[in-house]
Structures are given as C-alpha cells and as structure tokens.
Chain A
Amino acid sequence: QKEVEQNSGPLSVPEGAIASLNCTYSDRGSQSFFWYRQYSGKSPELIMFIYSNGDKEDGRFTAQLNKASQYVSLLIRDSQPSDSATYLCAVSSGAGSYQLTFGKGTKLSVIP
C-alpha cells in the first residue's frame, strides 16, 4: 500500500525564519510530487509541484526532491503569519496516473 508520511507538527517558527516541511513516500515508482496548503476550514490549495530531482523555486517557496531517498520537502523563506496552515504532501505515479496519495499534513504556525 502506498504511504506518504509527514510529521503532524505543529511546527512553530518565528516570523521571517525559514520553515522546513518534510515528507517521505513508500512507492519507489512515484513520479510526481505536490504540496498543498490548507487553511483551517478551507480546501487544499495547490502551491507547488515537482517532478525531477533537485530544487524548484517559486517565490518564497522551494520544493526539494530526492527520489533515491524517497524524500520531498518544502522550504518557506521569510515565513509570514499568513503562511500558518496545514501543508499536505501528495504523490502520484506520474502523468497518466489519476490518483494522488496524500499525507496527513504538517501544521505550521508562524509566530509574529
């Protein structure tokens, strides 16, 4: 059974610091990796996706993928209180696959 593991947190960081969110996955054949942000009472919102090993940057967000270690992370630079949310890691077998396997999420709290 495919599994995606995340530390549930809460992860507390001071405003302006770097928040580091981690995720491991069990299916070595996974090809596509996604980060969703979910504010309390709201729906998951796609913020990043990554397909290749290495880093992918988008504004204050950097996704990092290491397929050999089956590890994906999300770095949030200059964390803001508005970044406080639960971050969900999701994994799929790649384009043409329809199913995402979600982790249970890490709750991030950015302290002003």
Chain B
Amino acid sequence: DARVTQTPRHKVTEMGQEVTMRCQPILGHNTVFWYRQTMMQGLELLAYFRNRAPLDDSGMPKDRFSAEMPDATLATLKIQPSEPRDSAVYFCASAGQLSTDTQYFGPGTRLTVL
C-alpha cells in the first residue's frame, strides 16, 4: 500500500504513563522520520532512520523519548514517562532511496497527556 500508516490515531493518557506510537512506512521506502507538530513550534524533526539505522535523534529529549526500527516495516516512538508538554501531533514520514528528501507523511497520532 503506497501510504504511511500510524497507530494509534488518538491517544489520551495521564502524566507519567508510557506511550508507544507505531509507524509503517511506504513499502520499499528505507528512510523514516518522526516529527512533532504543535501550534507554537510547528513541525519539529525528532529523529530519523535510514535502512533501519538511526541517523539523527538530536531533536528528541533523550531522557524520556526513544525511537527504534525493529524491522523495515515498523518504526516506533516511545515516551516514558509522558508529560503534559508532550501533547502534540506526532507524524511519521518515509522517503525512498532515490529521493531521500521527498517525504510522505502518515496521518499522525494526536497525543494528549493530562
């Protein structure tokens, strides 16, 4: 399927709880990105992977966020413990081998931390 998919689409949780978001990139795409979007900051790059290897996670708060790509069809973003300031929409995007900067976005996970 030529779409990026993300689950869950919505997540409401309480402060301190663990949150895991999942992404399935477009089949054949080997670069996966995690973004966070808020009204104040816009789209921020959190981390990205190429061929499942993490290339850059400098945009991610290291103490609570972690990103992994256990296989070519699954990327995960985990927040533990979650805080109210993590409330945002989290997007996954993928890009193919030939056009590494042409990114296609998933529908996003809207996270609310109470």
Contact = CB atoms under 8 A, between A and B. Distances in A.
Interface of A: 32, 34, 36, 42-46, 49, 88, 92-100, 102-105
Given A99-B56, A100-B45, A46 B102 contact: yes
A32 B100 CA distance: 11
Interface string B24-64: 00000001010000000011010010100001100000000
A43 B35 CA distance: 11
A98 B101 contact: yes
* Secondary structure class of chain B's binding surface, majority of residues: strand
Given A98-B31, A102-B42, A44 B105 contact: yes
Interface residues of B, number: 22
Contacts of A105: 42
Contacts of A100: 45, 101, 103
Contacts of B45: 99-100
A88 B35 CA distance: 14
B105 A98 contact: no
B35 to A, nearest CB: 8
Nearest to A42: B107
Contacts of B107: 42-43
Contact of B48 (A34, A46, A98): A98
Contacts of A97: 100-101
Contacts of A36: 105
Contacts of B98: 95
A97 B33 CA distance: 13
Interface in B55-112: 55-56, 91, 95, 98-108
B48 A99 contact: yes
Contacts of A43: 91, 105-108
Contacts of B101: 32, 34, 92-95, 97-100
Contacts of B56: 98-99
B61 to A, nearest CB: 18
Contacts of A32: 101-102
Nearest to B40: A104
A91 to B, nearest CB: 9
A98 B91 contact: no
